[in-house]
Chain A
């Protein structure tokens, strides 16, 4: 729950700009971008994800560093498990803050 997971935005939903497909170490799941509405990420940007919600934009280098840290913390399996568990693939539009 407290993991901050770096992911790369590989698709932003055409009908819902608060929903994006991210890639985390090869696993692709949908996350919610509502918390970044003041500074929207673009396709190819990196974000830090908590419990299925992107919390901050980060640089690619910081994303790699964060993945490295998670690996050193022995959390890489937990990361993959968490991301694989995100199931909000059919979230309808709306719900912005």
Chain B
């Protein structure tokens, strides 16, 4: 297997883009939210916004787990790791996310034992290798990563590894969609449904969006053609006044999801009564916590958690961007105080955050156009 570097099926792409233009017409405006951060990244990277007609507006959803994590949770996790002999283990995505007292990377520079892991099982391995230390895995992610955390905790319990715990920040996608649909400034016509979350939960949990909210949702793959085909499927529904769940990503996603993954999550987690989301506030039943059977491996039960709540920097408008009210470049700090190199808000940290994606592609493109017109 080799990496290659060109768009596949360019003819099919232009044909599909033509179909989108035909379906979209000019008589109305469409607001479509892509929920998943991976889709946001793909849309910017592939320049799909330039392919779509102007009356299709893409709103970037809350599906980047790093971006929706409130600052206080980072500070809470780091506060636990301030204690002697604790190793703070997290995915690389977390390392530059600023808490009120700095990012995990900055804490590492100040002497904290901070390790990047690529899998929760690597964090468990760290615990095996360091029996005199306590390894706390700072878990984040939607349903895509939650099953892996669950399986790792099951293994820790089975092996009786007691110097390991999880600081659980896993969130679930459905309540976030509900919160967006319930918000007063909501103006969405339909959704591009997340691809990889849906490999776990399947398509069935989206049915209420179609049935109760009368919004179409198409679960989509990540290739340019996938996203364009999903747009065609959405527009067809919208033109005919239908609202149903469709699965464009059938080669990976099944209607019922992954039963083993759902069983692992049910074994270890329970639903939190509420959880704070950056930009969206407190959302009921939107996150997972560790149940009593696994209390011994729950960092929140083993350690004192300060329960820090920090409001985002006042000037930053992450919330409005997350809800789709503002475009990234309309934020006061965008590209000035807040850049991918020196992020103020989390949306600028992850490549799946809409601000970083916008900055990396659109902003660069705009700068190029400006400099070209100046030289012309």
Tell me which of B26-34, B115-123, B176-184, B290-298 binds A: B115-123
Return chain B residues, CB-CB under 8 Å to A81.
118
Query: Are B352 and A88 in contact (CB-based, < 8 A)?
Result: no
- Give the top 6 A-B pairs by smallest Cβ distance, nearest first: A52-B119, A95-B155, A85-B118, A97-B264, A71-B3, A88-B121
Check B200 for interface membership: any CB of A closer than 8 A. Answer: yes
Cα A96 to Cα B200 in complex, Å, equals 16
The residue of chain A having its C-beta at the shortest distance from the C-beta of B140 within the complex is: A1
Return chain A residues, CB-CB under 8 Å to B60.
none
Question: A91: shortest Cβ distance to chain B, in Å?
Answer: 7
> Can you list 26 A-B pairs, Cβ within 8 angstroms, ordered by A?
A1-B65, A2-B38, A2-B196, A25-B2, A34-B151, A51-B91, A51-B148, A52-B119, A53-B119, A53-B147, A55-B261, A56-B199, A58-B252, A63-B1, A68-B223, A69-B42, A72-B223, A74-B45, A87-B119, A90-B125, A91-B125, A94-B155, A95-B152, A96-B154, A97-B150, A97-B263
Query: Are B122 and A87 in contact (CB-based, < 8 A)?
Result: yes
User: Which of the four size classes fits the interface of chain B?
Assistant: 35 or more
Check B73 for interface membership: any CB of A closer than 8 A. Answer: no
User: Which of the four size classes fits the interface of chain A?
Assistant: 35 or more
Check B41 for interface membership: any CB of A closer than 8 A. Answer: yes
Query: Are A73 and B42 in contact (CB-based, < 8 A)?
Result: yes
Question: A57: shortest Cβ distance to chain B, in Å?
Answer: 9
Return chain B residues, CB-CB under 8 Å to A72.
5, 7, 45-46, 223-224
Check B8 for interface membership: any CB of A closer than 8 A. Answer: yes
Where chain B touches its partner, the secondary structure class is helix
Cα A96 to Cα B93 in complex, Å, equals 27
Return chain A residues, CB-CB under 8 Å to B116.
85
Q: Pick the contact of A25 from B1, B7, B222, B261 — CB < 8 Å?
A: B1
Cα A88 to Cα B140 in complex, Å, equals 20
Query: Are A95 and B154 in contact (CB-based, < 8 A)?
Result: yes
Query: Are B3 and A76 in contact (CB-based, < 8 A)?
Result: yes
Check B50 for interface membership: any CB of A closer than 8 A. Answer: no
Check A37 for interface membership: any CB of B closer than 8 A. Answer: yes
Check A42 for interface membership: any CB of B closer than 8 A. Answer: no
Check A20 for interface membership: any CB of B closer than 8 A. Answer: no
A-contacting residues, B229-267, CB 8 Å: 251-252, 258-261, 263-264, 267
Return chain B residues, CB-CB under 8 Å to A4.
195-196, 222, 252
Check B159 for interface membership: any CB of A closer than 8 A. Answer: yes
Chain B CB count within 10 A is highest, among A50, A51, A63, A85, for: A51
B-contacting residues, A46-68, CB 8 Å: 48, 50-53, 55-56, 58-59, 62-68
Q: Pick the contact of A85 from B8, B117, B120, B144 — CB < 8 Å?
A: B117
Query: Are B65 and A36 in contact (CB-based, < 8 A)?
Result: no
Return chain B residues, CB-CB under 8 Å to A74.
45
Given contacts A2-B64, A4-B252, A51-B118, 16 further A-B contacts (CB under 8 A): A25-B1, A34-B264, A48-B196, A51-B120, A51-B145, A55-B199, A59-B251, A66-B222, A67-B2, A73-B45, A85-B117, A87-B118, A87-B122, A90-B125, A94-B155, A97-B261
Bitwise, A19-57 to B at CB < 8 A (1) or not (0) is 000011100000010111110000000001011110110
